[in-house]
Structure 1
C-alpha cells in the first residue's frame, strides 16, 4: 500500500515528466558512456548542490529576479523570448505568457541538470545551444540603448546572478547544505559553466561574486518586471515564496526594490515555512533520476581516457553563425 506522501510524489513526478522531461530533456544522455564523469563528476560540489531539484529550481527563480534589475537583460527577455505575449513585446507594460514562462523554466532546469549530470557530450551540446541563442540576441531598448547578449559585461552579470541565486537558495533550503569554505568549492567549480557560455573574468568565490554583483549597481534600475514581481497581494503559498526570493538578495539589492525584512524571529519563521514547502516537495518526489543515472555511470570509477575531456572546450568566436529559426530546429 502506498503512503500519502508516496502518492503525492508519484503525481509530482508524473507531472514533471510530462511537462518538463518530455519536452526539454530530449537528446540528453546521463547513463553513458560508462566512466565519463561529465563536467564535474562524483565528489564535486556541483553534484551535491544540484541533487536537490526543488532548491535548484527555487535558486533559478532567485537568479531571474536579481538578473532583471539590469534594464538591458529585462528587454532582452521581452524582445527575444516567449516570456510575454508577442503582441505586447514592444509595450512598456508587456503581458506575461504563462506558457512562455513555463518553457523558460523548463529550458533552464534542463540546462543546469544536463551540465551537472550529463555526459561530456551532453554538456557541450547544451552549452553550444545556449551560446548560439545568445549570438542572436542583439537589439535596442525602448530608451534607445543597444544591447548584445555576447557583451562580456552582460555575460559576467548574468553569470554572477545565476551562481549567487543557486548557491544562496542551496544554503537556505537544501536539507544538507554546504557551509563555509565548502560552498566556495561550488562557486569555483561552477565557473566552468560560465566559461563554456563565453564568460570571462568571472568571480570564483562567494565574496568575489558579491563584489561583482555590487559593482553593477550604477547600471541597475527597478524595471517594470521587477516592480510587478514585488507586489504584496499574491495568495499563499506564492506570497511566501515571492518573499523568500527577495530574501535571498544582497542587502543593497533589497534596498533598490525597497524590500525590508521583518525582525529576526519572524524572518526565521518565514524561512522555516518556505523550507517545509520546498523540502516537503523534495521528500515526496524522491531522488533526482538524472543524478542516480550519473552515479551509476561512474560507479566503477572514472575512465582516465574520458576524464581529460571534461573541461569545456569552447573558444570565443568559434561558433558557426546560425539564424534563430535554424537554432530552434537544431536544438528542438
Structure 2
C-alpha cells in the first residue's frame, strides 16, 4: 500500500478535528440518511445544496455575515450579553473579551444549523428552525445607552436574515471553484427564504439586488462600536487574524467598507490576496472532501443530483489561462 499523500494527511487531520469539536457535539439528533426519498427542504436540484456543500466557503460566509451584523450596535450588545463567544466574570457579567471555549460552541451551532437545514431530512430542518426560533425569543435586553433590543423585532429579523444570506452567497460567489452567478445565484437567494420564514421573518428579499438594498436601508442604524473597532483592521496584531479580517472586510458592500474605513488595495495586490484566500479555502475543501452528511443526503434521495453537484471541481493551478479568468472574474 502506498503511503498517504500530504493532502490526504491534512484532510484526515482536519476531518478528525471536525468530528471531535463539531460533529460529535452539535450534529446529535440530525438525520441525513433517511427516510428514503425525502428531499428535505430543498433537494438535490437546489442551489442551496450546491452552495452549502462547500463547508470552508460556508464557514467563511458565516464569518462575513457576523462581521456585518455587528455593525448594528444592538446586535453587538446582544452578543455581549447573550453569546457564548463572550467571556463572563464570576458574577455572570460580560467581560467584553472573546472566550476561547465559546468560539467552537458558536461555530458548531451555526455550522450544524446551516448544514442541517440545507440537506437534512424534513424533520431535521424543521426541528432545527424551531429550536433557533425559540432561542431568539429569549434574546431581549437593554443596551448601555438605554435603548432596548429584541431579537423578535420584525424589521431586525428581516435585516439579520439579509446579512446571513448575503454572507453565504458572497463567499460562494467569490471563492467557490464553480460559483453560481446572475440568475443562478438569485435562485439561491430565492430558495433560502424558506429558512428565514421558518425563523419568523417576513417580507424577505429574494434576489441579490433586493438583499443589498435591504442591507443598505439599515445604514442609519449602524455604527462602529469600540468593541468592533478593536477587533478589526490595524488594531489586530496577530498576522493570521489580520489575514482573515482582511478577507472578510474585502467582501463588504461599499458603504460598509467605508464605515470600517476599508479601501481595497491596487488590483495586483488584491488579486494576489484573493488568490491566496481562494487557494486556502479550496485546498482545505479538497483535503476534507464532501461531508458524510452531504453524501448521506444524496443517497437518501436516490442519487438525484444534478450536474452542478457532480462535475469535477476545478483546482487553481491546473490551467494558467483559467486561473487568470477565475481571479479576474472575482474582481469585477
Q: Same fold (TM over 0.5)?
A: yes
Distance 1:109 1:133 in 2: 16
Distance 2:189 2:201 in 1: 14
- Residue 316 of structure 1 is matched in structure 2 by none
Aligned 8 A contact 2:48 2:118 in 1: yes
**SS of the residue 1:178 aligns to:** coil
Distance 1:225 1:65 in 2: 12
Q: Following TM superposition, by how much is the alpha carbon of 1:85 offset from its aligned partner in structure 2, in angstroms?
A: 1.2
**SS of the residue 2:149 aligns to:** strand
Aligned 8 A contact 1:68 1:225 in 2: no
- Residue 294 of structure 2 is matched in structure 1 by 291
Distance 1:234 1:290 in 2: 37
**SS of the residue 1:211 aligns to:** helix
Q: Following TM superposition, by how much is the alpha carbon of 1:301 offset from its aligned partner in structure 2, in angstroms?
A: 5.9
Q: Following TM superposition, by how much is the alpha carbon of 1:68 offset from its aligned partner in structure 2, in angstroms?
A: 0.6
Distance 1:25 1:17 in 2: 10
**SS of the residue 2:85 aligns to:** coil
Distance 2:209 2:138 in 1: 32
**SS of the residue 2:286 aligns to:** helix
Distance 1:299 1:85, change over 3 A: same
- 139, 142, 161: which is aligned to 2:141? 139
Distance 1:42 1:225 in 2: 41
TM-score normalised over the length of structure 2: 0.88
- 265, 269, 282: which is aligned to 2:268? 265
The answer to which of 133-142 and 235-244 deviates more is: 235-244
Q: Following TM superposition, by how much is the alpha carbon of 1:300 offset from its aligned partner in structure 2, in angstroms?
A: 6.1
- 186, 195, 200: which is aligned to 1:193? 195
Distance 1:133 1:12 in 2: 30
**SS of the residue 2:24 aligns to:** helix
Q: Following TM superposition, by how much is the alpha carbon of 1:239 offset from its aligned partner in structure 2, in angstroms?
A: 2.1
Distance 1:48 1:300, change over 3 A: closer
Aligned 8 A contact 2:56 2:285 in 1: yes
Distance 1:301 1:171, change over 3 A: closer
| Uncovered stretches (5+) of structure 2, i.e. residues with no partner | 306-332
Aligned length: 301
Q: Following TM superposition, by how much is the alpha carbon of 1:241 offset from its aligned partner in structure 2, in angstroms?
A: 1.7
Q: How does 1:247-326 map to 2 (within 5 A)?
A: 247-299=250-302
Does residue 19 in structure 1 map to residue 17 in structure 2?
no
Q: Following TM superposition, by how much is the alpha carbon of 1:237 offset from its aligned partner in structure 2, in angstroms?
A: 3.5
- 199, 206, 216: which is aligned to 1:214? 216
Whose RCO is larger (CA < 8 A, sep 6+)? 1
- Residue 164 of structure 1 is matched in structure 2 by 166
Q: Following TM superposition, by how much is the alpha carbon of 1:240 offset from its aligned partner in structure 2, in angstroms?
A: 1.9
Distance 2:92 2:188 in 1: 36
Q: Following TM superposition, by how much is the alpha carbon of 1:229 offset from its aligned partner in structure 2, in angstroms?
A: 2.3
Q: How does 1:52-201 map to 2 (within 5 A)?
A: 52-87=54-89, 94-201=96-203
Distance 1:127 1:112 in 2: 10
| Uncovered stretches (5+) of structure 1, i.e. residues with no partner | 303-332
